[in-house]
Structure 1
Amino acid sequence: MIVIADISVPASQFPLGRVLEAFPEVEIELERLIPLTEGVIPLIWVRDADADAIEATLGDDPVTESVRRLTRVGQRVLYQVEWTLGVDGLVQSFIDSEAQVVIGEGTATVWDFRLQFQSRGDLETFRASCEEKDISLSLRRLYNPALPENSQSLSERQSEALMTAYRAGYFEVPREVKLSDIAAEFDISDSAFSQRIRRGSSALIAETLIPEFGRRGGRSDSIPWG
């Protein structure tokens, strides 16, 4: 059964935390973490920062092989960073336990992650790996996802619409893009895209937030890591 854990770690115990030491006002969002046989590639969004300075700092890290600036959306820049196999610590614990990083966000002091594991055994593998590496973890929430009765799960189209809108800055205050501009990318009307966003948001809330979800899906409360 799938297990989802929300954890926090000190920024110093995650490689990207070193970037924020020099840029304490910058927030980084981990888009994806791709393990490879020859290394690891994180895709990261950096907001409200000097792109050249961030790129240089990322490139100077001892475990960094290369850095590529992929795109800019408003005040956010997407980078592809290739790490060598020398990267260890928390990243290796992700790989050892086959954890899927659903959310990863960091500041100069702390990184928050939502991790998905295929089983409780994989979660225990992750925990043991972190303990062996003296990684300080704070477990904020642990639960087994299961949809409420009569609820529809998030569809692939809804997920794509929500992620595209999010990355484009549609949910920022103030908004960085118009609904019509995103709808044009999908070649559908504004109304159709708006409905897709609303239905996707409803499904996402049903899966993650409403009380019935926690009761039907298992543990959904804050608990100590132990």
Structure 2
Amino acid sequence: MTGDSSTAEMVSARFRKELVADSWIGEISSAFPQQRFELLTATPVADGVLGLGATVGTEPTAAGDAIRTHPDITGYEELHADAERLLARFKWTERKFFNYLRAVSVPPEFPVVVENGVMEFDVTVDRDQFERIGAVLEGREQAYEVVSVVSARESASVLTDRQRECLSVALREGYFSVPRECTLADVAAIIGVDKSTASKTIRRGSERILEWFLVGQNAPEPP
């Protein structure tokens, strides 16, 4: 194929990034290290960002109060609260996260998750945009890492149709559960093959997934 094909290749990536010391969510999440903070949706507005978020853990009320009373929060409305989860709509003044992605014209994917001063977010971009995100983050003082990268073009050809069917049945029926919830004979009967074929297909399919996950583009095409 020509270079045009690789240019159009889409990549799903997850980034993990340390938050700046003066970020309100970085400050609050560090004060509540056992809480999980989820930004479910958000949009920039003229004087800040309007968002919907949740905090999950053992201290949702205290964490919600910390958000509500933080100086950077200019509006706050609690929508739901129970012993483990609090949901609220709020508005805040800083827009650093959106500025990162605006630099490469990439919309964020939600939820954006923050735990103990570290943010994780996903993007689906082409290769050029992926490289530009890395360049933008490299230019900041905070540490970051790429947690995972999956190429849609690569993943589409990882398994044969038979391997995908066999592994899907095995997973659904509990063949990989501990303790195992179905036998190899059960899987074979469902997809209409003998035990030997089912065993070989599961083994080869599992090997292909491991090669693709650990080796990536260097993995051979399926037989």
In 2, the alpha carbon distance for the partners of 1:24 and 1:60 equals 18
Indicate the SS of the match to 2:134. helix
2:124 is matched with which residue: 94, 117, 120?
117
1:41 aligns with 2:46: no
Partner of 2:73: 64
Partner of 2:108: 100
1:2 aligns with 2:15: no
State the TM-score, normalized to the length of structure 2: 0.56
Indicate the SS of the match to 1:118. strand
Partner of 1:145: 152
Query: 1:1-226, aligned counterparts within 5 Å?
Result: 1-12=9-20, 15-72=24-81, 75-84=84-93, 86-88=94-96, 90-97=97-104, 98-113=106-121, 115-146=122-153, 148=156, 215=212, 219=216
Q: What letter corresponds to residue 109 of structure 2 in structure 1?
A: V
CA deviations over 1:109-153 (Å, ceiling 9, x no partner): 43332x2233223223322332333231111221222564768xx
The number of equivalent residue pairs is 161
Structure 1 residues 102 and 56: alpha-carbon distance in aligned structure 2, compared to 1, 3 A threshold: closer
If you compute each CA radius of gyration, which structure gives the higher value, 1 or 2? 2
Q: CA deviation at 1:92?
A: 1.7
Please tell me whether the aligned partners of residues 44 and 95 of structure 2 are also in contact (alpha carbons under 8 angstroms). no
Please tell me whether the aligned partners of residues 29 and 46 of structure 1 are also in contact (alpha carbons under 8 angstroms). yes
Among the aligned pairs, what percent are the same residue? Answer: 16
Structure 1 residues 42 and 60: alpha-carbon distance in aligned structure 2, compared to 1, 3 A threshold: same
For the aligned residue pairs, the C-alpha RMSD in angstroms reads 3.6
CA deviations over 1:43-89 (Å, ceiling 9, x no partner): 222123545432332134343221221224662111222122x432x
Q: CA deviation at 1:34?
A: 2.3
CA deviations over 1:145-186 (Å, ceiling 9, x no partner): 2564768xxxxxxxxxxxxxxxxxxxxxxxxxxxxxxxxxxx
